[in-house]
């Protein structure tokens, strides 16, 4: 995981989080106990949950840190752009999708990372353990914090949408999974541009091969074409179906992003 425990938001809880994340028995209650203010549970007010959402603004997406980008995007930055992207589903998809439902799913899908943190394929946390941490966190949010808010209905709705994304059976969830990937591809190219060709983030280009829907693939192709124009023939890494990452990396990313197209 991250070697940089210095919090950029003035709080000192990130080291607690890192310690909890590497512990074998990660418990949501232990992480919550280490927060600057322990949220009130079983209340009819949604305010403790509103405070919890701040953590999505201050928790960084981890994948970029390995490349020295410490002040990169937050979890909510990522979910915000995804939410907007869902509204641009082309006609061929939009006619088959419940778009507002997709927008909500984009807003909810990484919510558990507020307490779990952003666990990436290289962190050495098994997929089933990552799932356990995330589902117990979602239970905590929707039952402990929101169980009595609005009769528990909004919490239940959030839980159902999160579970639908995890199960990835509906067309809506498949679309949002693809949007998750195109958002990463966009950010990859944007960080490369900012670093004026001194940073090759091509490792992430493998994610584009995991996109399922042709409409989203077309967006990815466009962005990857922009990337080729940016590098203008200079040496850089590009993964495709024919040029794959090494076995270990392949195993890790396939476990997280799925083997099947
Ligand atoms: Zn995401």
Going from the Cα of 113 to the center of ligand 1, the distance in angstroms, rounded, reads 10
Q: How many CB atoms lie within 10 A of CB 126?
A: 11
The token pair at 41 is 């549970």
As a whole number of angstroms, the distance between CA 173 and CA 165 comes to 5
pLDDT of the residue at 244: 83
pLDDT of the residue at 6: 32
The token pair at 256 is 């997280």
Of the candidates 7, 206, 202, 177, which has an alpha carbon nearest to the alpha carbon of residue 85? 177
pLDDT of the residue at 257: 64
pLDDT of the residue at 255: 63
Domains and CATH numbers, the chain: 14-257 (1.10.3210.10)
pLDDT of the residue at 241: 84
Going from the Cα of 219 to the center of ligand 1, the distance in angstroms, rounded, reads 17
The token pair at 46 is 């949604």
Nearest 10 degrees: Cα torsion 150, 97, 119, 24: 60
Give CA separation, 240 vs 34, 220, 221, in Å.
43, 12, 11
Going from the Cα of 78 to the center of ligand 1, the distance in angstroms, rounded, reads 7
pLDDT of the residue at 254: 66
Going from the Cα of 35 to the center of ligand 1, the distance in angstroms, rounded, reads 23
Give 7-59 as a DSSP string.
-SSS-S-HHHHHHHHHSSS--HHHHHHTSSSPPP-S-S-SHHHHHHHHHHHHS
As a whole number of angstroms, the distance between CA 220 and CA 214 comes to 10
pTM of the model: 0.87
Going from the Cα of 130 to the center of ligand 1, the distance in angstroms, rounded, reads 14
pLDDT averaged per 10 residues in sequence order, the chain, 261 residues:
34 46 78 96 98 96 90 96 98 98 98 94 89 97 98 98 98 98 98 96 95 98 98 93 79 61 45
Residue 131 per-residue DSSP state: H
pLDDT of the residue at 11: 38
Total residues belonging to the chain: 261
Going from the Cα of 172 to the center of ligand 1, the distance in angstroms, rounded, reads 15
Give CA separation, 18 vs 7, 61, 125, 141, 202, in Å.
11, 14, 13, 20, 27
As a whole number of angstroms, the distance between CA 91 and CA 88 comes to 9
């Amino acid at each position: 995981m991250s070697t940089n425990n210095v919090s950029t938001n003035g709080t000192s809880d990130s080291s607690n989080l890192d310690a909890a994340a590497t512990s074998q028995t990660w418990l949501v209650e232990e992480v919550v106990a280490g927060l600057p203010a322990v949220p009130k549970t079983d209340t009819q007010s949604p305010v403790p949950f509103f405070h919890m959402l701040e953590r999505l603004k201050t928790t960084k997406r981890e994948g970029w840190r390995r490349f020295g980008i410490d002040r990169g995007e937050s979890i909510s930055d990522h979910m915000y752009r995804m939410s907007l992207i869902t509204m641009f589903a082309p006609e061929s998809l939009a006619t088959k999708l419940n778009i507002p439902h997709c927008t909500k799913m984009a807003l909810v899908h990484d919510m558990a990372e507020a307490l779990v943190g952003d666990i990436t394929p290289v962190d050495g946390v098994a997929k089933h353990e990552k799932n356990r941490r995330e589902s117990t966190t979602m239970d905590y949010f929707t039952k402990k914090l929101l169980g009595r808010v609005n009769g528990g209905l909004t919490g239940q709705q959030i839980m159902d949408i999160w579970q639908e994304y995890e199960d990835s059976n509906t067309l809506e969830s498949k679309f949002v999974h693809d949007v998750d990937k195109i958002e990463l591809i966009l950010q990859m190219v944007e960080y490369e541009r900012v670093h004026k060709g001194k940073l090759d983030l091509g490792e992430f280009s493998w994610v584009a091969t995991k996109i399922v829907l042709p409409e989203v693939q077309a967006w990815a192709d466009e962005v990857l074409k922009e990337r080729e124009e940016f590098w203008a023939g200079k040496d850089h890494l590009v993964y495709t179906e024919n040029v794959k990452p090494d076995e270990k990396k392949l195993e890790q990313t396939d476990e997280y992003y799925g083997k099947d197209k």
